[in-house]
A and B are shown apart, each in its own frame.
Chain A
């Protein structure tokens, strides 16, 4: 995974709540068997509307998506994270994320930042008033900075460390080989197996 320390880029205001993963990347895109090439599917239905924020020239090239509450609900498709990254987003800000989406984002180095709804709305106002407004998402100091905004955010220390270092979860887990093997050897015999009963 690519490490994330700090990122500065333009904010893209997405004034929608409950942005489900079917909106982020519709199901027909999920037939692809790779992790790339999803950028054209990002918000595919909404992008048919010329007024949609990603179609406004002033917001081209933005890298920090600022969305309403309950972002990433619904399907567990990690393709939603890949689509956001393939399109160029480095971070998403919302007052609440769906659990699976958040887990997926942190495993891919897409930083999901939880801020109070008032701060989200302040960022929306800034980005709409001046689309060139830059926002800094600083994982080292756990801060989001923009003109007039200096907001702290929470992220558990372990997740932060893995992001800062760009660590591979599987390699970390495999360091516990002995503990896994010991657990396996003590599992009850009645536990189900998928091989012939």
Chain B
């Protein structure tokens, strides 16, 4: 277990990527105490910060490093009529509280209406603030997203948010290391979302508990930064502390030129450092999982936790097929909640709603992927499709590329940026009994609205599902494109 002991001089054993980044941030290490780590970047949003700022006020403390802190509004923000006052008074108070806190404590804020506003995990990378080898925290479990850059990025609770605001450090318990190696090439119709859903189904929602997962292997190296973010984003759904991918030329190219990326001599120095951030040949992981990319297929969830998933070509499993009593009981409860029966082909599951967006799949490549499937096709009768860009910048880019027109021509709703239906804190919610194919990250009971039922899918599967009205992949659409649009 890392950081359990003081470093040993002359130890020949190599280190993993996670251990290197951790070591470079140790402010204080003492026997029998958690390491005190320095935090390079602290992201804030309106939901998990108000009680932390209150704590600072009560103790008479300031924000130690406003220059390493940034806030945006995402969870509560409406995706329609954003120029009007927010209808829900409780949401409005929470946003106003963030605005007051940021003003009082001198924290940079991108509020609703600002061109840099968006889902916090889309905004950080977009601004070039998320960089290799940094430590990133946010009062949000999907902070693991930033690990795609080779950053060590953790979701934290509100007490820890207050701790970082006051000290720019966090005492962190030691972690274990896990390698998830994906060999070979992903089949053409398999996306990063399918891959991570398959990983979670394999190791379980608690399989990553206590671990920092490093995703590696040929299939990972070939992924774009946005696809890597999708994978690291969902590390938390496997229970992992964080997910990471070693930075490479793809990473450097993504960061270079962004607003907060290093420039000139700083850039050269940074890249020289970033190139050292990979797991050494002789380093050992505490646990290893190997996956053959060629065996993967479009993947969807059937249950009420992200580990309850299967290839789209399969049927809803029979709870009796689970050997573990607790898993069997969980599967029974899940089928009951989801209104599914064992043996029902997943492709026959009809949906009412399709949601494309979130910190998992709300970036420009995700929108392009969904739009390419929808081009020249229409959303099935009785299906509502919401497309919610992850940030204002993503929305502007999509408009420039004409993607918004593809969505609206198909009959989908093109909305403003935010977390939206991923968790339904704003008006975008499922009604009781409604079923959604969603590109978000959690299929928990009621997550997208009380009584709502969620199937987690990739943007491609979401779009194909919208066209056919039941769970489907683009391969199922071969004969439904209108000839005039080809």
Return the contact of B206 from the options A96, A103, A174, A184 (Cβ within 8 A). Answer: A96
Is B160's CB under 8 angstroms from A192's CB? no
Interface centre among A18, A23, A79, A176 (most CB of B within 10 A): A18
Considering only residues 295-314 of chain B, those with a C-beta below 8 Å from chain A are 304-305, 307
Return the contact of A158 from the options B33, B93, B129 (Cβ within 8 A). Answer: B33
Is B69's CB under 8 angstroms from A174's CB? no
Stretch of A6-14, A28-36, A137-145 on the interface side: A28-36
Q: A30: which B residues are within 8 A, CB to CB?
A: 47-48, 75, 425
A107 at the interface (CB under 8 A from B): yes
Considering only residues 24-44 of chain A, those with a C-beta below 8 Å from chain B are 26-28, 30-35
A62 at the interface (CB under 8 A from B): no
Return the contact of B330 from the options A17, A172, A192 (Cβ within 8 A). Answer: A17
Return the contact of A100 from the options B54, B91, B141, B444 (Cβ within 8 A). Answer: B141
Instruction: Tell me how many residue pairs across A and B have CB atoms closer than 8 Å.
Output: 212
B318 at the interface (CB under 8 A from A): no
Is A191's CB under 8 angstroms from B329's CB? no
Return the contact of B173 from the options A96, A156, A173, A179 (Cβ within 8 A). Answer: A156
A76 at the interface (CB under 8 A from B): yes
* Per-residue contact bits, chain B 127-154, to A (CB 8 Å; 1 contact, 0 not): 0111100100001110000000000000
Q: B67: which A residues are within 8 A, CB to CB?
A: 193-195
Nearest CB on A from B103, distance (A):
15
Residues A173 and B169 in contact in the complex (CB < 8 Å), given A45-B445, A77-B48, A183-B27: yes
Considering only residues 412-456 of chain B, those with a C-beta below 8 Å from chain A are 423-425, 442, 444-447, 450-451
B168 at the interface (CB under 8 A from A): yes
Residues A70 and B38 in contact in the complex (CB < 8 Å), given A22-B447, A96-B209: no
Considering only residues 107-155 of chain A, those with a C-beta below 8 Å from chain B are 107-108, 117
Nearest residue (CB) in A for B259 is A197
A35 to B305, CA, bound (A): 27
Nearest CB on A from B469, distance (A):
27
Return the contact of B167 from the options A18, A81, A173 (Cβ within 8 A). Answer: A173
A144 to B327, CA, bound (A): 26
Return the contact of A18 from the options B93, B141, B267, B305 (Cβ within 8 A). Answer: B305
Residues A73 and B50 in contact in the complex (CB < 8 Å), given A78-B157, A103-B160, A192-B128: no
* Per-residue contact bits, chain B 255-293, to A (CB 8 Å; 1 contact, 0 not): 000011110001101100100000000000000000000
A187 to B70, CA, bound (A): 19
Q: A194: which B residues are within 8 A, CB to CB?
A: 41, 66-70, 108, 129, 260
Number of interface residues of B (CB under 8 A): 88
A61 to B208, CA, bound (A): 35
Nearest CB on A from B419, distance (A):
10
Q: A35: which B residues are within 8 A, CB to CB?
A: 51
A98 at the interface (CB under 8 A from B): yes
Is A70's CB under 8 angstroms from B239's CB? yes
A193 to B68, CA, bound (A): 5
Nearest CB on A from B126, distance (A):
13
Is A169's CB under 8 angstroms from B444's CB? no
Nearest CB on B from A97, distance (A):
8
Q: B160: which A residues are within 8 A, CB to CB?
A: 103-104, 107
Considering only residues 221-276 of chain B, those with a C-beta below 8 Å from chain A are 236-237, 239, 241, 259-262, 266-267, 269-270, 273
Residues of A within 8 A of B (CB): 15-18, 20, 22-23, 26-28, 30-35, 45, 68-70, 73-79, 81, 96-100, 103-104, 107-108, 117, 156-159, 169-170, 172-174, 176, 179-180, 183-184, 187-195, 197
Subset of 27 A-B contacts with CB under 8 Å: A18-B206, A20-B444, A22-B442, A26-B450, A30-B75, A30-B425, A31-B91, A33-B97, A68-B326, A76-B155, A77-B157, A79-B158, A98-B239, A99-B210, A103-B173, A104-B158, A107-B159, A173-B166, A173-B171, A176-B169, A180-B36, A180-B167, A184-B168, A188-B269, A188-B270, A192-B260, A192-B262
Given contacts A18-B205, A74-B442, A194-B129, 7 further A-B contacts (CB under 8 A): A26-B450, A45-B446, A70-B239, A74-B237, A78-B48, A99-B241, A104-B158
Residues of B within 8 A of A (CB): 27-28, 32-34, 36, 38, 40-41, 47-48, 50-51, 54, 59, 61, 65-70, 75-76, 88, 90-91, 93-94, 97, 108, 128-131, 134, 139-141, 155-160, 162-163, 166-169, 171, 173, 205-206, 209-210, 236-237, 239, 241, 259-262, 266-267, 269-270, 273, 304-305, 307, 326-327, 329-330, 333, 423-425, 442, 444-447, 450-451
